[in-house]
A and B are shown apart, each in its own frame.
Chain A
Amino acid sequence: MYKILEKQVFSPIIKLMVIEAPKVAKKCQPGQFVILRTHEEGERIPLTIADFDREKGTITIVFQEVGKTTRRLGRLEAGDCLRDFVGPLGTPSHIENFGTVICVGGGVGVAPVFPIARALKEAGNHVIGIMGARTKELIFWEEKMREACSELFVTTDDGSYVRKGFVTDVLKDVIEERGKEQIALVLAIGPQPMMRACCNLTREYGLKTIVSLNSLMVDGTGMCGCCRVTVGGQTRFVCVDGPEFDGHQVDFAELARRNAFFLEEEKLSLERYQSSGGCSCGCGCGGGQ
């Protein structure tokens, strides 16, 4: 069992948890992820490692409640335990001194961007951070990002905080202002439409762009092929070959179709969970046990 040591509620649907997982914390690198299960009948879901503390043996996850498993997770409190927690999975981010790197985090994607930005800065890069959310209340980790980056831009879709506009608007401004020759690499993590939009933009400038893909997964170790995605015309497994890929090569349309395959079942699962008072074990524990 893996204990939840700390919980922070960033917004009603975005939460942070610090999990006791020394084995994962010992070896994990920026860009890697874990797979967890909340309870015996639960699904295995992947979440990126947003931060880690090797000494304390902890892993930080930040998640957005979108369906049954993430909602159930969101109901757990410090002191509760997760059934399973395996990692670190996936190939770590490629970290070296590239020069100037732009790191874009959209929505909950800010969390996975953070450790990568920090590592890039430590490696000597000039890191320009861009973070955005739909609205002010969904912004989190602004201070942490400011520390991890050399400079940081913040934006909200509705203009309720700092400036109005999408992360792509800011990205475009930064590229135009600095000149594309000055920028070695762009990293974009967030919802698929956002990553796709970033790639469409950077393609015009010929700027290499790394994205972190959120495919469906089962085992996360290369055994099932559920996570396969077409990159540069070739089938790759996100869980072992990724999750990071050259965004200009990714077939986003295929990825979106594959991720939508179980929509009906996910909906049914969620409705069932909610109609049972948020707890599917039927014991009245409120989803906690």
Chain B
Amino acid sequence: MAELQEPKKKKEIIPKKHPMPAQDPAARVKNFDEVALGYDEETAVAEANRCLQCKKEPCRQGCPVEVEIPAFIKLIAERDFAGAIKKIKEKNALPAVCGRVCPQENQCEKYCTLGKKNEPVAIGRLERFCADWELAQGVFPQEVAPPTGFKVAVVGSGPGGLTCAADLAKLGHQVTIFEALHVPGGVLMYGIPEFRLPKRVVQAEIENLKKLGVNIEVNSVVGKFATIDELMNEEGFAAVYIGTGAGLPYFMNIPGENSCGVYSANEFLTRTNLMKAYLFPEWDTPIKIGKKVAVLGGGNVAMDAARTALRLGAEESWIVYRRSKNELPARHEEVENAIEEGVKFAFLTSPTRILADENGKVKAMECLKYELGEPDASGRRSPVPIPGSEFIMEVDTVVVAIGQGPNPLVPRTTKGLDVTKKGNIVADPATGATSKPGVFAGGDVVTGAATVILAMGAGRVAAKSIHQYLMAKKGES
């Protein structure tokens, strides 16, 4: 059609993204397998052909790590998948992860020219396609610079720590990651559920990292087995990157919150993902779910918990949220997925106390109804309680998913490291430098709970300045 109207050779516009093949909702709520199945080669090429190859590359400005989007998409269209993944990896160390969990609608795809009138190019799905294609082929080795002789410690193996480690290793530094848990990956392993991000994908990305020569020491809580000062002064680490994330769970501080059956989202998801409670009793760690589950909160974490609850066998899974549907902070796609799977929503509702039976087990929540008032500092209309609107909601399990703060362990044990009032580490966004020489930080521990790609961007920025710092040091000596 377009060609008829405009004689200049202009591409035919396909208004919609090629749909993502997905498991049927009725089937998928009974398993933990991945929901989105990924494009096959033909679909990927067809989707890549939707791209207009805009000269100004507007999509790139939406990507925190500036993946060369048009370039890699062009390579897909030319069926050079190996070239495409190589192109992506120049900027993004974890494409199989980002292609799956980036909030693309707020990032790269938000700026896509096609998106102005039609649906944007499915950049995330294409990125995932390339990464999965590579994983299936066996990963290509990456180049590593000759050893510089410097040792760098990375604290925490979330996406930020992994990216920082990869970049530093490629520059020839000897990198050791210290991870508190028994597997590396951070939230990618313990938080984001298997059905959204298969753990084998994360571990495959981590294997790549090991191939770069990165040494990963699990079961190593920094601040306990050694402080940052000890790592630098006694163990010979010339610089440190802190990427310890936002792992401290917030609670509501309402009566009854310590009843049995009230979990933080972290506990609920860690039991399920990291400890594989969904495979109990083959795996030893249990989880109790009951019939009716209430998840408090409205973000990605809440959606993950509510969808996990259904898969663990809950008959009803409710999101209980203080504001309305429009204010839900979760990714749009995840809200849609949750609705499709049968998650129910109690909007403009918040509990005032949790009621337990004689064994201390949750049996109900007393809730208050809310209405929306004036917009608050975040620009969202703030919820105002309606006096006298108390009602009882019967539940067996409550999952508190109202946010996480930074774990104070590292700041508390590190002299000279400035933190904000909320306990976040203060770091220069342009360099990742903290108040302590040689110590850099990034990701959720600096910004508060954010996104995978932002943490990765911060890890990349810090790696660059750590390299500069070390090279300057070398010049001095």
Contact = CB atoms under 8 A, between A and B. Distances in A.
The prevalent SS among residues of A at the interface is mixed
A37 B219 CA distance: 11
B271 A218 contact: yes
A225 B249 contact: yes
Given A37-B182, A224-B266, A230-B258, A87 B224 contact: yes
Range for the number of chain A residues in contact with chain B: 35 or more
A23 interface: yes
A121 interface: no
A85 interface: yes
B219 A272 contact: no
Contact of A224 (B219, B225, B267): B267
Given A86-B220, A222-B248, A223-B270, A41 B283 contact: yes
A180 B224 CA distance: 37
A84 B182 contact: yes
Given A88-B225, A235-B251, A221 B285 contact: no
Given A84-B219, A225-B249, A265-B288, A89 B182 contact: no
A222 B407 CA distance: 7
Nearest to A271: B281
A4 interface: no
Nearest to A24: B225
Given A68-B284, A222-B248, A222-B409, A257 B260 contact: yes
Interface string B257-285: 11011011011001100011001111111
B360 interface: yes
Contacts of B257: 235
A148 B253 CA distance: 42
Interface in B197-249: 218-221, 224-226, 247-249
Interface in A238-265: 240, 254, 257-258, 260-262, 265
Given A258-B260, A265-B288, A222 B247 contact: yes
Nearest to B219: A86
A142 interface: no
A136 interface: no
A285 interface: no
A68 B181 CA distance: 22
Nearest to B412: A240
A254 B258 contact: yes
A69 B288 contact: no
A262 B288 contact: yes
A87 B407 CA distance: 17
A27 interface: yes
B225 A41 contact: no
A269 interface: yes
Contact of B267 (A37, A41, A218, A229): A218
B389 interface: no
Contacts of B261: 261
Interface in B263-315: 263-264, 266-267, 270-271, 275-276, 279-286, 288
A218 B270 contact: yes
Instruction: Pick the most buried of B182, B288, B360: most chain A CB atoms within 10 A of its CB.
Output: B182
A260 B257 CA distance: 17
B36 interface: no
Contacts of A83: 182
A89 B222 CA distance: 11
Interface in A73-94: 83-89
A268 interface: yes
A260 B224 CA distance: 30
B326 interface: no
A15 interface: no
Interface string A11-34: 000000000000110110000000
B180 interface: yes
Given A27-B226, A37-B182, A225 B266 contact: yes
A65 interface: no
Contact of A219 (B218, B270, B286): B270
A42 interface: yes
B270 A235 contact: no
A228 B248 CA distance: 13
Nearest to A262: B286
B359 interface: yes
B249 A42 contact: no
B267 A272 contact: no
A218 B221 contact: no
A225 B258 CA distance: 10
A44 B253 CA distance: 27
B436 to A, nearest CB: 21
A219 B288 contact: no
Contacts of B271: 218
Contact of B284 (A41, A87, A222): A41
A184 interface: no
Contacts of B180: 86, 219, 221, 223
Nearest to A253: B360
Instruction: Pick the most buried of A86, A87, A272: most chain B CB atoms within 10 A of its CB.
Output: A86
Instruction: Pick the most buried of B225, B248, B282: most chain A CB atoms within 10 A of its CB.
Output: B225
B267 A258 contact: no
A43 B284 contact: yes
A50 to B, nearest CB: 18
Contacts of A266: 286
A231 to B, nearest CB: 11
Contact of B281 (A86, A219, A222, A269): A269
A225 B399 CA distance: 12
A226 interface: yes
Given A85-B219, A257-B359, A224 B251 contact: no
Nearest to B221: A221
Nearest to B260: A261
A203 to B, nearest CB: 22
B171 to A, nearest CB: 27
Nearest to A86: B219
B182 A225 contact: no
Contacts of B407: 221-223
B219 A219 contact: no
A235 B258 contact: yes
B301 to A, nearest CB: 13
Contacts of A240: 409
List the 5 closest pairs (A to B, CB-CB), nearest first. Answer: A257-B360, A265-B286, A224-B267, A86-B219, A43-B284
Given A218-B285, A226-B263, A240-B409, 9 more contacts: A42-B283, A42-B284, A88-B225, A221-B180, A223-B266, A224-B270, A225-B263, A269-B284, A269-B286
30 contacts: A23-B226, A26-B226, A27-B224, A41-B282, A43-B284, A44-B285, A84-B218, A84-B219, A87-B224, A88-B225, A89-B224, A218-B270, A221-B409, A223-B247, A223-B249, A224-B249, A224-B264, A225-B249, A229-B258, A230-B258, A235-B251, A235-B257, A257-B260, A258-B258, A258-B260, A260-B359, A261-B260, A268-B281, A269-B280, A269-B286
